[in-house]
Amino acid sequence: MKILDIKALRGPNYWSNRRHKLIVMILDLEEMEERPSDKVDGFADRLEKMFPTLYEHHCSEGHEGGFFERVREGTWMGHIAEHIALEIQTLAGMDCGFGRTRGTGEEGVYNVVFTYTQERAGVYAARAAVRIVEALITGKPYKLEANIQVLREIREEEKLGPSTLSIVEEAGRRSIPFMRLNEYSLVQLGYGVNQKRIRATITSQTSGIGVDLAGDKEDTKFLLNRAGVPVPKGSIITTETELINELGNTGYPCVIKPVDGNHGKGATINVRTKKDALVAFKVAQKHSERVIIERYIKGFDFRLLVINQRLVAAAKRTPAHVTGNGKSTIRQLIDKVNTDPRRGYGHENMLTEITVDKMTLRILRAKGLTLNSVLSNRKRLYLKTTANLSTGGTSTDVTDSVHPYNIFMAERISRIIGLDICGIDVMAPDLNRPINENGGAVLEVNAAPGFRMHLDPTVGLPRNVAEPVMDMLYPPGSPARIPIVAVTGTNGKTTTTRLIAHIMKAVGYHVGYTTSDGIYVQNRLLEKGDCTGPKSAKFVLRDPTVDFAVLETARGGILREGLGFSHCDIGVVTNITSDHLGLKGIHTLEQLARVKSVVVENVSKDGYSILN
């Protein structure tokens, strides 16, 4: 078999108006066109052995086991590759369920279409599925787990983090469009002049001064202390000599952490000896030349999340740990904890697998232990010095038990530092009493706090903390979109687009429009060439000066990537004629009409379609 082409669709398309993320693989079965699955000895048995979970695929039979029935009755290898591509993505933690395989009009050549969640993973799955089918045909061994691990790694590299994803999903529930602006977590919500941006949990409204203050623990501590907020006693040091001198003032136990660190990086808590202090100092200086040494506050690690100056969630965080049973080694206890189905690779599940890293080994050495040591029964051993979920920690929701004084304090801190979204780290015996009375203290204030511990706590009620973010960015009644007119057809698209743009400019709009000769914003040519595809549409919709978009939409872009927008307000079809048939798999007037109909099918429910 031979792969002729692989395309990744990213918007409403020829195959589906609802499923925007589709891989279209054009596959030539070559001699396998004459050998469906029932003509290959042992194929069905080998497939079922390698993929027992394919039993859940109903296929056209409409019930579990339906796909296996089709394989035994005889189906083409392109259809089987479609199901395998879906399944290996699902096994790698990316739930994908829609697919279809259709002939291209050329004998033995098929469009194999299936959903993806991460584009690079979808392309990889397409190629891997063909390799797997070929191995099943010949009966050769195949290392499936290696493919699934590659897909897991791609997923972790490519996908939005839990915090960003929660905001994007909340935007989707409100029909607010989004565009990813880079390969990381910079995302645009809305279109044109009504756009907002987020990067993780920093928004386009977040104060730059607030972010700088939160990143400088010395300044944060100074401002909070002056405002009457309880903070630990401590000092800034830069040398080992200063460390030793300050240990005499601060005493043990203490905390040593970088001034410019965040998310617990480089921090060591509960330091009890001079030797440990020197090691912790060196770790902290890997992240910041200036290091904080401060009194260790006994109690539990809490995170208070404040959004738009309102406390919305609170969580108790516990570092990754194991509990002894008097029989198992520490390594065995870690392995047992990691069998919890709630734990997974990276951010794929509620909890992250516990890994043995330098921090873990340092803790073990300090306690005179190794991974082969056996812990006594019920003895708890903490494996990390911080309680981050990303290192295997757990969280318990305590939002409903926070004392009114602590709520007042947290909301006041967000204004003192000047952050619209902030995470406040508190060490205290509990939060149901004022921390200025129970010996607690505020340790840090974090810009871009993670939402994962609140969205999916290990224990307690999940909190949809993305909801107040969207309420802040788009208060009720605030527009997120701009009017979009999409123009398609065989002839007259460019002229029609220009006329509409001219009319809207004349009545006061700042118009962005795309044509076959370029992209224009407020009548200025910004890109020259054939700009009738989805990339050009997104160029206009990304522009923060545009409040009206007119987009010439040719069939090539629809087939190549899908539409560059989710919905338009007006869809115009100038005409449909037999020009250019025979290109890109479109051989009949009916097929061409179906391509053009993608624009009409994606007019908003209160919009208009104009069919010439």
Specify if 175 maps to a domain: no
Dihedral of CA atoms 364, 367, 369, 371 in degrees, nearest 10, equals: -20
Q: Assign 307 a pLDDT band (cuts: 50, 70, 90).
A: very high
**Residues paired with 332 in a beta bridge:** none
Each residue of 561-589: pLDDT tens digit?
Answer: 999 999 999 999 999 887 777 666 777 88
Calpha distance 104→539 (Å, rounded): 32
Last residue of a domain, one of 384, 418, 438: 384
Residue 15 in this model has a pLDDT that exceeds 90 = yes
In a domain, 263, yes or no: no
Look at the pTM and tell me if it is higher than 0.85.
yes
pLDDT of residue 262: 63
Question: Which token pair is 464?
Answer: 């949809």
Q: Is residue 185 part of a domain?
A: no
Q: pLDDT, tens digit, for every residue of 206-230?
A: 999 999 999 988 899 999 999 999 9
Instruction: Write out the residue range of the structural domain in which residue 570 sits.
Output: 484-611
User: Beta-carbon neighbour count of residue 225 at 10 Å?
Assistant: 14
Using the predicted structure, report yes or no on whether residue 5 has a pLDDT greater than 70. yes
Which pLDDT does position 366 carry in this prediction?
Answer: 84
What average pLDDT does range 288-298 have in this prediction?
A: 90
Our count of domains for the chain comes to 3
Q: Tokens 């030349």 belong to which residue?
A: 289
Mean per-residue pLDDT of the chain: 93
For the chain, state the CA radius of gyration.
29
CB count, 10 Å around CB of 61?
Answer: 14
DSSP state of 108: T
| pLDDT, position 260 | 77
Residue 332 is assigned to a structural domain of this protein: yes
Whether 226 is in a domain gets the answer no
Residue 256 within a domain: no
At 129, is the pLDDT very low, low, confident or very high (cuts 50, 70, 90)? very high
| Residue 374 and residue 505 share a domain | no
Q: Is residue 420 part of a domain?
A: no
Given 384, 409, 428, which residue is the final one in a domain?
A: 384
Same domain, 371 and 499: no
Residues 377 and 488 in one domain: no
Gap between the Cα atoms of 120 and 124, Å rounded: 6
Residues 375 and 518 in one domain: no
pLDDT score, position 446: 95
User: How confident is the model over 434-488, as pLDDT tens digits?
Assistant: 999 999 999 999 999 999 999 999 999 999 999 999 999 999 999 999 999 999 9
- Token reading at 500: 């509409």
How does pLDDT run across 489-545, given as a tens digit for each residue? 989 999 999 999 999 999 999 999 999 999 999 999 999 999 999 999 999 999 999
What is the Cα–Cα distance from 132 to 91, expressed in whole angstroms? 15
Q: Which amino acid is at 555?
A: R
What CATH code is carried by the domain that includes residue 542? 3.40.1190.10
Residues in Cβ contact with 475 at an 8 Å cutoff, skipping those fewer than 6 apart: none
Which two three-digit tokens encode residue 256?
A: 């040593």
| Boundary residue ending a domain (384, 411, 436) | 384
Q: Is residue 126 part of a domain?
A: yes
Q: Tell me phi and psi for residue 4, to 5 degrees.
A: -90, -30
Contacts 24+ apart (CB under 8 A), 109-112: 109/4, 109/26, 109/27, 109/28, 109/29, 110/26, 110/27, 110/29, 110/76, 110/78, 111/24, 111/25, 111/26, 111/585, 112/23, 112/24, 112/25, 112/26, 112/27, 112/78, 112/79, 112/81, 112/82, 112/85
